[in-house]
């Protein structure tokens, strides 16, 4: 079966648990990493910049004995040089997986509709599932369990928040989201995550949202592709900065999380992100471990036909 992962609700809770277990196991014991991609290529398509996603994906593929092929933003011309469907048909004739970072989520849907190999979302305007997996692995490592832990996300209800909502729903993490008016998480995402059994609470006041939580998460105020709105967003998000005041509303052992890249002095202060309760480097490192387990899962499912 071709398992496309455009958002985390494409996976079952059992598949997410298995990705987390394998990621943790292979992180502890690299000698046990399977050669799941031996002799196979993985197309890594990027329409936007990336540090963590590109590097972690390349190393994930290499350590599964596969061949990662990084494709620069200007190379394919998806929708201009040729259609998303034709790109997917072409890449799928050489590669066992197509993984893509795109501006418009619809491009991933067009690719997965015709692709004979799994399509994985490496970030779109709508979601960032690979980030969500690394985040729940990080929470599991920090606390020993994910279920019942409480995470407050403070800031833009964006692609990262959407995938966190599904990651939380599929692992029993309780999520509280605080966003300025007009920048809330898409109600359809909230409803879908709740339908999966997720506990998602929307609380506009950031201090109230952070009350007693185990971790506080934020992301940039203007995502890639929203640069023209940066100034107007700076004004709208001014009360949603994660600073020492927000962190002191959280539990006394609370961790700070951020997917990175970060803008110190905007969504987070340097004192918080560079402080001793910052988990951001653990999150970044876990991107490789969870990407490896996800690639291994989709290629194994594809081979099970």
Tell me if 51 contacts ligand CP by CB under 6 A.
yes
List, in order, residues 6 or more apart from 147 with CB less than 8 Å away: 171, 172, 173
Written as six digits, the tokens of 103 are: 């501006």
> Is there a catalytic annotation at residue 219?
yes
Helix (H) or strand (E) holding 255: strand 255-258
List, in order, residues 6 or more apart from 287 with CB less than 8 Å away: 52, 53, 56, 130, 131, 134
Pick one of 52, 150, 289, 292: the residue that binds ligand CP (CB under 6 A).
52
> Is there a catalytic annotation at residue 135?
no
- Cβ proximity to ligand CP, 92 vs 219, nearer residue: 219
Smallest gap from Cβ 89 to ligand NVA, in A, equals: 27
Query: With the C-alpha atoms ordered 206, 207, 212, 218, is the resulting torsion angle positive or negative?
Result: positive
Nearest residue to ligand NVA, by Cβ distance, number only: 223
- Nearest CA to 259 out of 237, 230, 290, 232 is that of 290
Tell me if 53 contacts ligand CP by CB under 6 A.
yes
Tell me if 227 contacts ligand CP by CB under 6 A.
no
Rounded to an integer, what distance in angstroms lies between the CA atom of residue 195 and that of residue 177?
A: 17
Tell me if 159 contacts ligand NVA by CB under 6 A.
yes
Nearest residue to ligand CP, by Cβ distance, number only: 53
SS3 breakdown of the chain: % helix, strand, coil, rounded to 5? Answer: 50, 15, 35
Tell me if 210 contacts ligand CP by CB under 6 A.
no
> Is there a catalytic annotation at residue 128?
yes
Tell me if 260 contacts ligand CP by CB under 6 A.
yes
Pick one of 4, 56, 57, 158: the residue that binds ligand NVA (CB under 6 A).
158
> Is there a catalytic annotation at residue 10?
no
Written as six digits, the tokens of 288 are: 């490789």
Choices 54-62, 169-177, 217-225, 291-299; region in contact with ligand NVA by CB under 6 A:
217-225
Choices 32-40, 73-81, 86-94, 216-224; region in contact with ligand NVA by CB under 6 A:
216-224
Choices 79-87, 88-96, 154-162, 202-210; region in contact with ligand NVA by CB under 6 A:
154-162
Residue pair 105/125 in contact (Cβ under 8 Å)? The answer is: yes
Tell me if 224 contacts ligand NVA by CB under 6 A.
yes
Q: What are phi and psi of 210, to 5 degrees?
A: -85, -5
Sheet containing 67-71: give its strands across. 67-71, 41-46, 97-101, 119-121
Give the pairing type, strands 174-178 and 97-101: unpaired
- Cβ proximity to ligand CP, 98 vs 249, nearer residue: 98
Smallest gap from Cβ 135 to ligand NVA, in A, equals: 12
Residues labelled catalytic: 101, 128, 131, 219, 259, 287
Binding site for ligand NVA (CB under 6 A): 123, 158-160, 219-220, 223-224, 259
Binding site for ligand CP (CB under 6 A): 50-53, 123, 131, 259-261
């Amino acid at each position: 079966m071709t398992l496309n992962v455009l958002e985390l609700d494409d996976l079952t809770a059992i598949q997410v648990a298995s990705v987390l277990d394998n990621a943790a196991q292979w992180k502890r014991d690299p000698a046990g990493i399977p050669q799941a991609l031996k002799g196979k290529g993985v197309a890594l398509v990027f329409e936007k910049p990336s540090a963590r996603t590109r590097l972690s994906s390349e190393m994930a593929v290499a350590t599964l004995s596969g061949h990662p092929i990084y494709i620069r933003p200007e190379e394919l011309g998806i929708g201009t040089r040729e259609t998303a469907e034709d790109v997917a048909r072409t890449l799928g004739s050489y590669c066992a997986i197509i993984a893509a970072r795109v501006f418009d989520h619809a491009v991933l849907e067009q690719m997965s509709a015709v692709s004979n190999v799994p399509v994985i979302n490496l970030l779109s305007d709508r979601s960032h599932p690979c980030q969500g997996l690394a985040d729940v692995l990080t929470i599991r490592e920090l606390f020993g369990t994910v279920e019942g832990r409480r995470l407050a996300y403070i800031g833009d209800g964006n692609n990262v928040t959407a995938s966190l909502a599904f990651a939380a729903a599929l692992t029993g993490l309780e999520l509280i989201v605080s966003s300025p008016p007009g920048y809330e998480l898409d109600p359809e995402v909230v409803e879908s995550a709740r339908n999966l059994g997720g506990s998602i609470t929307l609380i506009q006041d950031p201090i109230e949202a952070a009350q007693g939580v185990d971790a506080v998460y934020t992301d940039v105020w203007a995502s890639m592709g929203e640069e023209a709105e940066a100034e107007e967003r700076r004004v709208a998000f001014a009360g949603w900065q994660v600073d020492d005041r927000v962190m002191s509303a959280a539990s006394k052992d609370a961790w700070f999380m951020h997917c990175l890249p970060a803008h110190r002095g905007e969504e987070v202060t340097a004192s918080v992100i560079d402080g001793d309760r910052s988990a951001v480097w653990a999150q970044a490192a876990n991107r490789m471990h969870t990407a490896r387990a996800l690639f291994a899962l989709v290629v194994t499912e594809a081979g099970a036909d």
